[in-house]
């Protein structure tokens, strides 16, 4: 077999993202096509978003890595909920 | 209960060495908006005590009591005891199968705290049957749920408001948006059953980054998923008690 099935590559990438010290994220969605790796989800800092690409690129087997990960906003607002 | 209690809550802040100073600007005014700050687990990325120190530095002296539970990330480095000590040194009260009582201008707020665990939800829940590993998995959740009920029971009649603080989810409502296949790793109905049995005014949890904020236990208790990626803000404030008794968004 010359090509790793995409399903296995998805899990190999997810495992790498969970264990890499600069990322440590379990909730990133990974989708692999013959040409691309798509990444979506949320992380806490821009550095972590960039680190995700750095971790995935060596694993992508020449596919383009599309990083669609968002950085969670930390703004305050005045909304509150009254639960009685 | 007559006075309103304002509870700020957030989970899954995932502090790391790269987030030093990020939280402080958003939490230094929390005392103007809330009487109490709850942290619903995953305080750190890896469970490294140095990461906890980053968080502590940012929320030190916020001016309200801070009560927390740990999450799965906080256990990854197998250093949860040291993590707890760092947090305690910064004034964060960490609960695991324990409860705390906070006095808010004469209103006694009881918090029963536990990480919780997984297993799934009614009708599709793992069973303590078969291999030792499977039995240990579900017995662990059941043990945590029983302890949670004991702590809520211990608060009954002793406080004006009871809150269950968890990391894992007790209901499916607040998992909407997550993939169905991972529900058993996100929570357990055993937690909701324990809470409904003992009673509470509010349940707060995190862990499900792709879930929804609002839900109810089968017994009708409000559940809020306060994972920061769900809230998309620094924290949310929930008001308990007060005069009108209505839910306001």
CATH code: domain of residue B202: 3.60.21.10
| pTM score of the predicted model | 0.92
Q: Do A74 and B241 touch (CB under 8 A)?
A: no
Per-residue pLDDT at A48 exceeds 50: yes
Q: Do B29 and A76 touch (CB under 8 A)?
A: yes
Share of chain A above pLDDT 70, in %: 95
Specify the higher pLDDT residue, A73 or B79: B79
Q: How many domains does chain B have?
A: 1
Q: Which domain range does residue B37 map to?
A: 5-240
- What is the average per-residue pLDDT within A21-41? 94
- Give the pLDDT of residue A2: 55
Instruction: Kindly report the nearest CA distance between residue B93 and chain A, in angstroms.
Output: 23
First to last CA, chain B: 22
What is B186-234 written as a DSSP string?
Answer: HBBHHHHHHHHHH--SEEEE---TTS-SEEE-TT--EEEE-BHHHH-SS
- Give the pLDDT of residue B243: 57
Question: Which residues does chain B have within 8 Å of residue A82's beta carbon, measured at their own beta carbons?
Answer: 4, 239, 242, 244, 246-248
- Give the pLDDT of residue A74: 82
Instruction: Kindly report the nearest CA distance between residue A57 and chain B, in angstroms.
Output: 21
Q: Do B26 and A74 touch (CB under 8 A)?
A: yes
Minimal-distance CA residue of chain A relative to B3: A84
Q: Is residue B29 within 8 angstroms of chain A, CB to CB? A: yes
Centroid of chain to Cα B185: 16
Q: Do B235 and A79 touch (CB under 8 A)?
A: no
Residue A4 binned pLDDT confidence (cut-offs 50, 70, 90)? confident
Residue B61 φ then ψ, to 5°: 60, 35
Tracing tokens 């821009």 back to the chain, one arrives at: A46
Rounded mean pLDDT for each run of 10 residues along chain B, 249 residues in total: 85 94 90 96 97 95 96 97 97 97 96 98 92 96 98 97 98 96 97 98 97 97 97 95 51
Question: Which residues does chain B have within 8 Å of residue A79's beta carbon, measured at their own beta carbons?
Answer: 236-237, 249
Residue B72 sits at the vertex; the CA angle it makes with B70 and B76, to the nearest 5 degrees, is: 105
* Domain parsing of chain A, residue ranges: 6-71
- What is the average per-residue pLDDT within A8-33? 94
Per-residue pLDDT at A54 exceeds 60: yes
Q: Is residue B197 within 8 angstroms of chain A, CB to CB? A: no
ipTM: 0.83
Could you tell me if residue B92 is inside a domain?
Answer: yes
The residue of B32, B233, B235, B240 whose CB has the most chain A CBs within 10 angstroms, and thus the best one to mutate to test that interface, is B233
Per-residue pLDDT at A72 exceeds 50: yes
Nearest to B246 among A48, A77, A84 (CB): A84
Residue A62 binned pLDDT confidence (cut-offs 50, 70, 90)? very high
Q: Do B22 and A45 touch (CB under 8 A)?
A: yes
Could you tell me if residue B249 is inside a domain?
Answer: no
Give the separation between CA A43 and CA B149, rounded to whole angstroms: 33
- What is the average per-residue pLDDT within A3-13? 89
C-beta of residue B109 within 8 angstroms of C-beta of residue B4: no
Residues 222-241 of B with CB under 8 A from A: 222, 228-229, 232-241
CATH entry, A6-71, from 3.40.1710, 2.160.20, 3.30.1340, 2.40.50: 3.30.1340
Strand, coil or helix: what is B96?
coil
Name all contacts of A5-12 with Cβ < 8 Å and 24+ positions apart.
A6/A32, A6/A33, A6/A34, A9/A59, A9/A61, A12/A59
């Amino acid at each position: 077999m010359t090509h790793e099935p995409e399903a296995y590559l998805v899990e190999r990438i997810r495992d790498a993202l969970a264990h890499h010290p600069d990322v440590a994220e379990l909730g990133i969605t990974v989708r692999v096509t013959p040409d691309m790796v798509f990444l979506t989800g949320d992380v806490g800092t821009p550095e972590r978003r960039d680190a995700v690409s750095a971790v995935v690129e060596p694993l992508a087997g020449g596919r383009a890595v599309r990083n669609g990960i968002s950085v969670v906003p930390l703004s305050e607002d005045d909304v509150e909920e009254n639960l009685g | 209960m007559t006075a309103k209690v304002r509870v700020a809550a957030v989970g899954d802040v995932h502090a790391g060495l790269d987030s030093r100073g990020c939280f402080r600007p958003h939490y230094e005014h929390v005392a103007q908006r809330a009487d109490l700050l709850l942290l619903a687990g995953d305080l750190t990325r890896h469970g490294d005590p140095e990461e906890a120190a980053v968080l502590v530095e940012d929320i030190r002296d916020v001016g309200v009591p801070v009560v927390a539970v740990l999450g799965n990330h906080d256990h990854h480095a197998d250093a949860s005891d040291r993590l707890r000590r760092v947090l305690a040194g910064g004034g964060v009260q960490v609960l695991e199968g324990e409860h705390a009582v906070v006095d808010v201008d004469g209103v006694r707020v009881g918090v029963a705290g536990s990480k919780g665990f997984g297993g799934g939800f009614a009708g599709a829940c793992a069973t303590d049957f078969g291999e030792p590993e499977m039995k240990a998995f579900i017995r662990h959740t059941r043990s945590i749920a029983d302890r949670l009920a004991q702590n809520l029971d211990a608060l009954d009649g002793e406080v004006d408001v009871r809150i269950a603080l968890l990391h894992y989810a007790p209901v499916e409502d607040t998992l909407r948006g997550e993939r169905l296949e991972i529900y058993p790793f996100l929570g357990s109905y055993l937690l909701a059953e324990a809470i409904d049995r003992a009673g509470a005014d509010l349940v707060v949890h995190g862990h499900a980054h792709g879930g929804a904020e609002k839900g109810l236990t089968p017994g009708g208790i409000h559940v809020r998923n306060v994972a920061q990626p769900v809230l998309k803000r620094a924290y949310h404030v929930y008001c308990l008690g007060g005069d009108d008794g209505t839910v306001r968004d």
